[in-house]
Amino acid sequence: MSGSHSIKERNFYPINLDMKERRVLFLGGGKETLKEAHKLLEFGARVDILSQRPSREVEELATTHSHRVRLIKQSVDCLESLDLEEYCLAFAYSKFEEANEKLIRSCASKNGRPLVSASTLSSFYRCGDFLPPVTLRRGHLKVSVSTDRVSPALEQVLMNRIEAEIQSELDNYSLFLESAAEMLDGLPTPLKDSKRLHLLNSLARYCAGDDIRSALRRNNFSEADQLLKAHIKQILEAEDAEAASL
């Protein structure tokens, strides 16, 4: 947990996290919790919300997603009875600064502690571990903008501009990614372990290569799709030929 007080010194590393079945803790039952909890549920997380007086919308969220959301209507003192090491992330989103500080201190005392994000700038810049960026999502396509929370307004302005300028292409990008994911999932089941890993690595290198990049740059998604299919076929035929020669 960082101890830096300087805004200029904070420089966050962008990363994608697999949150499926990971547990997340929110302290506070207001609009910030509601917004971020919705996002995390989309990515398969399990959410616990600790709030004595949650908003009506947060209560509705817990009812609608009762299989994935647990609403704990207790005070911040309840933290002592929670196993904080079970959580991947923790959000100090209470409107009471003292409560947020208690969560931050409680997490800091654990060896396998969760990473913490805080809603108030004073807590965040002093000891926040991460911050959720402004994000645009279309299936597997995700575009995010962050200013390290120096200017949330600029983050939103930039995201709106990006979305406006490539709106017509977003669906095509998303469809191409969906098709590519289906091709990878549809690889023959006998290809497992080392051979499958070799194939996936080869495909990853090819997808980053000039041929597909050129097709995508020209917005020719059907060409990119065909190139990927042809490359998969070529690799599988080579695998079959190798197996036949043994």
Instruction: For the chain, give percent helix, strand, coil, nearest 5.
Output: 55, 15, 35
Task: Write down the pTM of the prediction.
Answer: 0.82
Confidence of residue 161 (pLDDT cuts 50, 70, 90): very high
Topology at the third CATH level for domain 1-132:
Rossmann fold (3.40.50)
Which residues on neighbouring strands pair with residue 143, listed in sequence order? Answer: 136
pLDDT for the residue 68: 97
Structural domain boundaries in the chain:
1-132, 187-245
On the question of pLDDT at 216 being above 70, the answer is: yes
Mean pLDDT of the chain: 86
Can you tell me the distance from the alpha carbon of 205 to that of 199, in angstroms, rounded to the nearest whole number?
10
HSE-up of 183 (CA within 13 Å, CB side)?
Answer: 22
pLDDT for the residue 59: 98
DSSP strand pairing (87-92 vs 69-72): unpaired
Confidence of residue 203 (pLDDT cuts 50, 70, 90): confident
Q: Which long-range contacts (CB under 8 A, 24 or more apart) does 58-65 make?
A: 58/29, 58/30, 58/33, 58/34, 59/29, 61/34, 61/37, 65/41
Q: Residue 156: which H helix or E strand, with range? A: helix 152-185
- Of 112, 108, 158, residue with least CA distance to 133: 158
CB 26 within 8 A of CB 40: no
When mean pLDDT is compared over 149-158, 176-185, 235-244, the highest value belongs to: 149-158
Torsion sign over Cα 72, 77, 81, 84: positive
Q: What is the mean pLDDT of residues 19-44?
A: 96
Which amino acid, one-letter code, is at 164? A
